[in-house]
Amino acid sequence: MKTALVCGAGGFISGHLVKRLKKEGYWVRGVDIKKHEFAPSAADEFRQLDLREPENCVQALTLPDGKFDEVYQLAADMGGMGFIHSAECDIMHNSALINIHLTHNASRLGIPRYFFSSSVCVYRDMQPGEPEMTEAQAIPANPDNEYGWEKLYSERIAMAYARNQGMTVRIARFQNCYGPEGTWRGGREKAPAAICRKVAEVEDGGTIEVWGDGTAIRSYTYVDDMVDGIYRLMHSDLEGAVNIGNPEYVSVNELVSAVAEIAHKRIDIRHIKGPVGVQSRNFSNERIYTTGWKATFPLMAGIEKTYPWIEAQVKAMKVASN
Ligand code: NAD
Protein backbone atom coordinates (compact mmCIF):
# COMPACT_ATOMS: atom_id res chain seq x y z
CA MET A 1 0.00 0.00 0.00
CA LYS A 2 1.34 3.45 -0.95
CA THR A 3 1.73 6.00 1.85
CA ALA A 4 1.13 9.75 1.67
CA LEU A 5 1.57 12.66 4.05
CA VAL A 6 -0.84 15.55 3.49
CA CYS A 7 0.22 18.82 5.15
CA GLY A 8 -2.60 21.28 5.76
CA ALA A 9 -5.12 18.43 6.07
CA GLY A 10 -7.30 20.53 8.35
CA GLY A 11 -7.90 22.87 5.42
CA PHE A 12 -10.12 23.06 2.37
CA ILE A 13 -8.23 21.59 -0.61
CA SER A 14 -6.23 19.12 1.51
CA GLY A 15 -9.43 17.83 3.13
CA HIS A 16 -10.67 16.89 -0.36
CA LEU A 17 -7.23 15.62 -1.40
CA VAL A 18 -7.14 13.20 1.55
CA LYS A 19 -10.50 11.76 0.43
CA ARG A 20 -9.16 11.30 -3.11
CA LEU A 21 -5.98 9.59 -1.90
CA LYS A 22 -8.06 7.24 0.26
CA LYS A 23 -10.15 6.38 -2.84
CA GLU A 24 -6.91 5.61 -4.69
CA GLY A 25 -5.99 3.14 -1.93
CA TYR A 26 -3.31 5.09 -0.03
CA TRP A 27 -2.56 4.98 3.68
CA VAL A 28 -2.72 8.69 4.59
CA ARG A 29 -1.41 10.77 7.48
CA GLY A 30 -2.90 14.24 7.71
CA VAL A 31 -1.16 17.06 9.59
CA ASP A 32 -2.38 20.54 10.44
CA ILE A 33 -2.12 23.13 13.20
CA LYS A 34 -5.90 22.75 13.65
CA LYS A 35 -8.56 20.12 13.07
CA HIS A 36 -10.80 20.41 9.99
CA GLU A 37 -13.66 22.81 10.75
CA PHE A 38 -16.37 21.11 8.71
CA ALA A 39 -15.66 17.40 8.39
CA PRO A 40 -13.82 14.73 10.35
CA SER A 41 -10.53 13.92 8.63
CA ALA A 42 -10.71 10.99 6.21
CA ALA A 43 -7.01 10.33 6.90
CA ASP A 44 -5.94 7.08 8.57
CA GLU A 45 -4.09 9.18 11.10
CA PHE A 46 -4.36 12.88 11.90
CA ARG A 47 -1.71 14.79 13.85
CA GLN A 48 -2.13 18.31 15.13
CA LEU A 49 1.29 19.93 14.65
CA ASP A 50 2.64 23.41 14.04
CA LEU A 51 4.76 22.95 10.92
CA ARG A 52 6.68 26.19 11.49
CA GLU A 53 8.74 24.15 13.99
CA PRO A 54 11.44 21.96 12.38
CA GLU A 55 11.05 19.15 14.95
CA ASN A 56 7.32 18.98 14.17
CA CYS A 57 8.13 18.67 10.47
CA VAL A 58 10.42 15.75 11.28
CA GLN A 59 7.68 14.15 13.38
CA ALA A 60 5.14 14.62 10.58
CA LEU A 61 7.50 13.19 7.95
CA THR A 62 8.64 10.14 9.95
CA LEU A 63 6.97 6.73 9.78
CA PRO A 64 7.79 4.00 12.33
CA ASP A 65 8.91 1.68 9.51
CA GLY A 66 9.99 2.94 6.10
CA LYS A 67 9.23 6.36 4.65
CA PHE A 68 6.36 8.11 2.93
CA ASP A 69 6.11 7.50 -0.81
CA GLU A 70 4.59 10.93 -1.37
CA VAL A 71 4.34 14.23 0.54
CA TYR A 72 1.72 16.82 -0.42
CA GLN A 73 2.53 20.25 1.05
CA LEU A 74 -0.56 22.48 1.15
CA ALA A 75 -0.17 24.02 4.62
CA ALA A 76 -0.06 27.82 4.49
CA ASP A 77 -1.18 30.87 6.42
CA MET A 78 -3.59 32.08 3.80
CA GLY A 79 -6.98 33.53 2.94
CA GLY A 80 -8.79 35.74 0.46
CA MET A 81 -7.79 39.28 -0.60
CA GLY A 82 -8.90 40.81 2.72
CA PHE A 83 -6.54 38.54 4.65
CA ILE A 84 -3.70 38.74 2.12
CA HIS A 85 -3.63 42.53 2.36
CA SER A 86 -3.93 42.70 6.15
CA ALA A 87 -1.59 39.89 7.27
CA GLU A 88 1.53 40.42 5.17
CA CYS A 89 3.98 39.68 8.01
CA ASP A 90 2.14 36.49 9.09
CA ILE A 91 2.15 35.22 5.51
CA MET A 92 5.82 36.02 4.89
CA HIS A 93 6.90 34.61 8.26
CA ASN A 94 4.63 31.61 8.83
CA SER A 95 4.30 30.17 5.33
CA ALA A 96 7.99 30.65 4.56
CA LEU A 97 9.00 28.86 7.78
CA ILE A 98 6.66 25.94 6.99
CA ASN A 99 8.14 25.59 3.52
CA ILE A 100 11.78 26.01 4.57
CA HIS A 101 11.54 23.33 7.26
CA LEU A 102 9.30 20.91 5.40
CA THR A 103 11.30 20.94 2.18
CA HIS A 104 14.64 20.63 3.96
CA ASN A 105 13.53 17.77 6.20
CA ALA A 106 11.64 15.92 3.46
CA SER A 107 14.83 15.92 1.41
CA ARG A 108 17.02 14.98 4.41
CA LEU A 109 14.72 12.05 5.25
CA GLY A 110 14.82 10.77 1.67
CA ILE A 111 11.20 11.45 0.66
CA PRO A 112 11.09 10.40 -3.01
CA ARG A 113 8.22 12.63 -4.25
CA TYR A 114 7.22 16.05 -2.93
CA PHE A 115 4.31 18.22 -4.06
CA PHE A 116 4.16 21.98 -3.40
CA SER A 117 0.99 24.06 -3.75
CA SER A 118 1.87 27.41 -5.28
CA SER A 119 -0.49 30.01 -6.72
CA VAL A 120 -1.07 32.12 -9.81
CA CYS A 121 -0.52 35.03 -7.40
CA VAL A 122 3.16 34.67 -8.42
CA TYR A 123 2.31 36.40 -11.73
CA ARG A 124 2.16 40.14 -12.40
CA ASP A 125 -1.17 41.83 -13.07
CA MET A 126 -2.53 41.56 -16.62
CA GLN A 127 -4.68 43.74 -18.89
CA PRO A 128 -8.03 42.43 -20.17
CA GLY A 129 -7.49 40.80 -23.58
CA GLU A 130 -3.81 39.98 -23.04
CA PRO A 131 -2.73 36.62 -24.51
CA GLU A 132 -2.31 33.63 -22.15
CA MET A 133 0.69 33.76 -19.86
CA THR A 134 2.86 30.65 -19.59
CA GLU A 135 4.59 29.40 -16.45
CA ALA A 136 7.97 30.78 -17.63
CA GLN A 137 6.51 34.30 -17.74
CA ALA A 138 6.35 34.53 -13.95
CA ILE A 139 9.96 35.75 -14.32
CA PRO A 140 10.88 38.66 -14.27
CA ALA A 141 8.65 38.65 -11.22
CA ASN A 142 6.25 41.34 -10.09
CA PRO A 143 3.54 39.72 -7.96
CA ASP A 144 0.81 42.05 -6.72
CA ASN A 145 1.05 40.89 -3.08
CA GLU A 146 3.40 39.34 -0.48
CA TYR A 147 1.52 36.03 -0.65
CA GLY A 148 2.69 35.72 -4.26
CA TRP A 149 6.31 36.57 -3.35
CA GLU A 150 6.32 33.93 -0.60
CA LYS A 151 4.97 31.32 -3.04
CA LEU A 152 7.64 32.21 -5.58
CA TYR A 153 10.38 31.92 -2.96
CA SER A 154 9.02 28.58 -1.73
CA GLU A 155 8.80 27.25 -5.30
CA ARG A 156 12.49 28.09 -5.61
CA ILE A 157 13.32 26.34 -2.33
CA ALA A 158 11.63 23.19 -3.62
CA MET A 159 13.39 23.43 -6.98
CA ALA A 160 16.78 23.96 -5.31
CA TYR A 161 16.31 20.74 -3.30
CA ALA A 162 15.19 18.95 -6.47
CA ARG A 163 18.34 20.10 -8.34
CA ASN A 164 20.85 19.60 -5.54
CA GLN A 165 19.48 16.78 -3.38
CA GLY A 166 17.71 14.62 -5.95
CA MET A 167 14.19 14.87 -4.48
CA THR A 168 11.48 14.66 -7.15
CA VAL A 169 9.40 17.82 -6.80
CA ARG A 170 6.10 18.72 -8.45
CA ILE A 171 4.77 22.29 -8.22
CA ALA A 172 1.24 23.43 -9.07
CA ARG A 173 0.16 27.04 -9.42
CA PHE A 174 -3.52 26.97 -8.48
CA GLN A 175 -6.06 29.45 -9.76
CA ASN A 176 -8.90 30.34 -7.35
CA CYS A 177 -10.38 27.15 -5.96
CA TYR A 178 -13.88 26.81 -4.51
CA GLY A 179 -16.33 24.16 -3.34
CA PRO A 180 -18.00 22.79 -0.22
CA GLU A 181 -16.12 22.43 3.07
CA GLY A 182 -14.01 25.55 2.57
CA THR A 183 -13.79 28.67 4.73
CA TRP A 184 -16.94 30.74 4.11
CA ARG A 185 -16.77 33.46 6.80
CA GLY A 186 -14.41 35.02 9.34
CA GLY A 187 -12.16 37.05 7.02
CA ARG A 188 -10.13 34.29 5.33
CA GLU A 189 -12.84 33.26 2.85
CA LYS A 190 -12.21 33.78 -0.85
CA ALA A 191 -14.51 35.56 -3.32
CA PRO A 192 -16.77 32.63 -4.39
CA ALA A 193 -17.46 31.62 -0.76
CA ALA A 194 -17.94 35.23 0.36
CA ILE A 195 -20.39 35.92 -2.47
CA CYS A 196 -22.33 32.67 -1.82
CA ARG A 197 -22.58 33.66 1.87
CA LYS A 198 -23.75 37.21 1.12
CA VAL A 199 -26.37 35.97 -1.35
CA ALA A 200 -27.56 33.33 1.15
CA GLU A 201 -27.89 36.00 3.84
CA VAL A 202 -30.21 38.35 1.89
CA GLU A 203 -33.82 37.98 0.78
CA ASP A 204 -34.86 37.81 -2.87
CA GLY A 205 -34.42 41.36 -4.27
CA GLY A 206 -31.76 42.21 -1.66
CA THR A 207 -28.46 44.06 -2.07
CA ILE A 208 -24.99 42.73 -1.35
CA GLU A 209 -21.74 44.66 -1.01
CA VAL A 210 -18.86 43.75 -3.30
CA TRP A 211 -15.32 45.13 -3.08
CA GLY A 212 -14.21 47.12 -6.13
CA ASP A 213 -16.15 47.88 -9.29
CA GLY A 214 -16.84 44.22 -10.13
CA THR A 215 -14.86 44.21 -13.39
CA ALA A 216 -11.84 42.22 -12.14
CA ILE A 217 -11.42 39.06 -14.23
CA ARG A 218 -10.73 35.66 -12.63
CA SER A 219 -11.29 31.99 -13.24
CA TYR A 220 -12.61 29.66 -10.55
CA THR A 221 -11.72 25.99 -10.34
CA TYR A 222 -14.01 23.52 -8.60
CA VAL A 223 -12.21 21.61 -5.87
CA ASP A 224 -12.71 18.11 -7.39
CA ASP A 225 -11.02 19.33 -10.58
CA MET A 226 -8.19 20.88 -8.57
CA VAL A 227 -7.60 17.67 -6.63
CA ASP A 228 -7.58 15.69 -9.87
CA GLY A 229 -4.97 18.11 -11.24
CA ILE A 230 -2.83 17.69 -8.13
CA TYR A 231 -3.00 13.90 -8.38
CA ARG A 232 -2.20 13.81 -12.10
CA LEU A 233 0.65 16.32 -11.74
CA MET A 234 2.18 14.42 -8.83
CA HIS A 235 2.31 11.25 -10.97
CA SER A 236 3.54 12.99 -14.12
CA ASP A 237 7.07 13.72 -15.26
CA LEU A 238 6.43 17.50 -15.41
CA GLU A 239 9.28 19.43 -13.82
CA GLY A 240 8.96 23.08 -12.79
CA ALA A 241 5.76 24.98 -12.03
CA VAL A 242 2.48 23.97 -13.69
CA ASN A 243 -0.69 26.13 -13.84
CA ILE A 244 -3.96 24.42 -12.91
CA GLY A 245 -7.17 26.32 -13.61
CA ASN A 246 -10.55 26.32 -15.26
CA PRO A 247 -10.17 28.22 -18.57
CA GLU A 248 -13.56 29.97 -18.08
CA TYR A 249 -12.81 33.61 -17.16
CA VAL A 250 -15.54 35.80 -15.64
CA SER A 251 -15.81 39.20 -13.97
CA VAL A 252 -16.74 39.47 -10.29
CA ASN A 253 -20.12 40.87 -11.39
CA GLU A 254 -20.66 37.75 -13.53
CA LEU A 255 -19.72 35.57 -10.55
CA VAL A 256 -22.43 37.32 -8.50
CA SER A 257 -24.96 36.74 -11.32
CA ALA A 258 -24.07 33.03 -11.42
CA VAL A 259 -24.58 32.67 -7.67
CA ALA A 260 -27.86 34.65 -7.79
CA GLU A 261 -29.15 32.41 -10.58
CA ILE A 262 -28.38 29.23 -8.63
CA ALA A 263 -29.95 30.78 -5.50
CA HIS A 264 -33.07 31.82 -7.52
CA LYS A 265 -32.76 35.38 -6.16
CA ARG A 266 -32.68 38.82 -7.77
CA ILE A 267 -29.61 40.51 -6.29
CA ASP A 268 -28.40 44.11 -6.53
CA ILE A 269 -24.74 44.93 -6.00
CA ARG A 270 -23.39 47.89 -4.04
CA HIS A 271 -19.76 48.36 -5.04
CA ILE A 272 -17.63 49.50 -2.14
CA LYS A 273 -13.92 50.20 -1.60
CA GLY A 274 -11.90 47.14 -0.64
CA PRO A 275 -8.84 45.06 -1.53
CA VAL A 276 -9.50 43.77 -5.04
CA GLY A 277 -6.10 42.45 -6.13
CA VAL A 278 -5.13 42.22 -9.77
CA GLN A 279 -7.37 43.38 -12.63
CA SER A 280 -7.10 40.49 -15.04
CA ARG A 281 -5.96 36.89 -15.47
CA ASN A 282 -5.40 34.61 -18.47
CA PHE A 283 -3.11 31.62 -18.01
CA SER A 284 -1.95 28.82 -20.24
CA ASN A 285 -2.96 25.33 -19.09
CA GLU A 286 -1.00 23.57 -21.84
CA ARG A 287 1.40 21.86 -19.40
CA ILE A 288 -1.30 20.32 -17.18
CA TYR A 289 -3.29 19.31 -20.29
CA THR A 290 -0.40 16.99 -21.23
CA THR A 291 -1.38 14.83 -18.22
CA GLY A 292 -4.88 14.34 -19.65
CA TRP A 293 -6.36 16.79 -17.10
CA LYS A 294 -9.13 19.16 -17.97
CA ALA A 295 -11.64 21.11 -15.91
CA THR A 296 -14.89 19.16 -15.85
CA PHE A 297 -16.96 21.64 -13.78
CA PRO A 298 -17.99 24.82 -15.60
CA LEU A 299 -18.61 27.68 -13.14
CA MET A 300 -22.38 27.11 -12.95
CA ALA A 301 -21.95 23.39 -12.22
CA GLY A 302 -19.47 24.13 -9.43
CA ILE A 303 -21.65 26.85 -7.90
CA GLU A 304 -24.58 24.43 -8.03
CA LYS A 305 -22.62 22.19 -5.66
CA THR A 306 -21.13 24.96 -3.52
CA TYR A 307 -24.03 27.35 -2.93
CA PRO A 308 -26.36 24.83 -1.19
CA TRP A 309 -23.55 23.85 1.20
CA ILE A 310 -22.85 27.50 2.16
CA GLU A 311 -26.57 28.27 2.35
CA ALA A 312 -26.94 25.37 4.81
CA GLN A 313 -24.04 26.76 6.92
CA VAL A 314 -25.68 30.21 6.97
CA LYS A 315 -29.04 28.71 8.04
CA ALA A 316 -27.40 26.55 10.73
CA MET A 317 -25.54 29.59 12.06
CA LYS A 318 -28.80 31.58 12.24
CA VAL A 319 -30.54 28.77 14.13
CA ALA A 320 -27.61 28.47 16.56
CA SER A 321 -27.58 32.22 17.27
CA ASN A 322 -31.35 32.41 17.93
P1 NAD B 1 -6.71 26.45 3.81
O2 NAD B 1 -6.41 27.68 4.60
O3 NAD B 1 -8.09 25.88 3.89
O4 NAD B 1 -5.67 25.31 4.16
C5 NAD B 1 -4.36 25.57 4.62
C6 NAD B 1 -4.17 24.83 5.91
O7 NAD B 1 -2.84 25.07 6.38
C8 NAD B 1 -5.13 25.29 7.03
O9 NAD B 1 -5.94 24.24 7.48
C10 NAD B 1 -4.19 25.79 8.12
O11 NAD B 1 -4.63 25.52 9.44
C12 NAD B 1 -2.91 25.04 7.78
N13 NAD B 1 -1.78 25.69 8.44
C14 NAD B 1 -1.52 27.03 8.53
N15 NAD B 1 -0.44 27.23 9.30
C16 NAD B 1 -0.01 26.00 9.70
C17 NAD B 1 1.07 25.59 10.54
N18 NAD B 1 1.90 26.47 11.09
N19 NAD B 1 1.22 24.26 10.74
C20 NAD B 1 0.37 23.37 10.19
N21 NAD B 1 -0.66 23.71 9.40
C22 NAD B 1 -0.85 25.02 9.17
O23 NAD B 1 -6.33 26.79 2.30
P24 NAD B 1 -6.67 26.03 0.94
O25 NAD B 1 -7.58 26.91 0.18
O26 NAD B 1 -7.04 24.64 1.20
O27 NAD B 1 -5.24 26.10 0.23
C28 NAD B 1 -4.32 25.04 0.28
C29 NAD B 1 -3.03 25.45 -0.39
O30 NAD B 1 -3.30 25.86 -1.73
C31 NAD B 1 -2.35 26.65 0.28
O32 NAD B 1 -0.96 26.48 0.22
C33 NAD B 1 -2.76 27.82 -0.58
O34 NAD B 1 -1.83 28.88 -0.51
C35 NAD B 1 -2.80 27.17 -1.96
N36 NAD B 1 -3.69 27.89 -2.89
C37 NAD B 1 -5.04 27.91 -2.66
C38 NAD B 1 -5.87 28.59 -3.54
C39 NAD B 1 -7.37 28.64 -3.33
O40 NAD B 1 -8.07 29.25 -4.14
N41 NAD B 1 -7.92 28.03 -2.29
C42 NAD B 1 -5.33 29.25 -4.66
C43 NAD B 1 -3.96 29.22 -4.85
C44 NAD B 1 -3.14 28.52 -3.98
Tell how far the Cα of 105 is from the centroid of ligand 1, in angstroms: 20
Residue 126 has pLDDT above 90, yes or no: yes
Secondary structure string (H, E, C) spanning 245-296: CCCCEEEHHHHHHHHHHHHCCCCEEEEECCCCCCCECCECCHHHHCCCCCCC
What pLDDT does 178 receive? 98
* Nearest atom in ligand 1 to 50's CA: 19
Kindly state the helix (H) or strand (E) to which residue 241 belongs, with its residue range: strand 241-244
Residue 181 has pLDDT above 90, yes or no: yes
Task: Give the percent of the chain with pLDDT over 90.
Answer: 98
Residue 322 has pLDDT above 90, yes or no: no
Secondary structure string (H, E, C) spanning 170-188: EEEEECEEECCCCCCCCCC
> Any residues with CB less than 8 A from the CB of 174 and at least 6 apart, and which?
13, 117, 118, 119, 120, 221, 226, 244, 245
How does pLDDT run across 17-71, given as a tens digit for each residue? Answer: 999 999 999 999 999 999 999 999 999 999 999 999 999 999 999 999 999 999 9
What pLDDT does 140 receive? 97
How does pLDDT run across 68-97, given as a tens digit for each residue? Answer: 999 999 999 999 988 998 999 999 999 999
14 lines ligand 1 (CB under 6 A): yes
Tell how far the Cα of 167 is from the centroid of ligand 1, in angstroms: 23
Domains of the chain plus CATH, in order, are 3-177+221-244 (3.40.50.720), 180-219+248-281+297-316 (3.90.25.10)
Contact 84, 147 (CB under 8 A): yes
98 lines ligand 1 (CB under 6 A): yes
pLDDT level of residue 231 (50, 70, 90 thresholds): very high
11 lines ligand 1 (CB under 6 A): yes
| Known catalytic membership, residue 178 | no
* Nearest by Cα to 118 from 3, 224, 244, 26: 244
pTM score: 0.98
Please pick, among 26, 114, 123, 147, the residue that the annotation labels catalytic. Answer: 147
Gyration radius from the chain CA atoms:
19
Best mutation site among 5, 6, 13, 221 for ligand 1 pocket (most ligand atoms within 8 Å of CB): 13
* Nearest atom in ligand 1 to 78's CA: 2
How does pLDDT run across 259-316, given as a tens digit for each residue? Answer: 999 999 999 999 999 998 999 999 999 999 999 999 999 999 999 999 999 999 999 9
181 lines ligand 1 (CB under 6 A): no
56 lines ligand 1 (CB under 6 A): no
pLDDT (average), residues 154-178 = 97
Q: How many Cβ atoms sit within 10 Å of the Cβ of residue 85? A: 17
- Looking at every residue in the chain, the average pLDDT score rounds to 97
220 lines ligand 1 (CB under 6 A): no
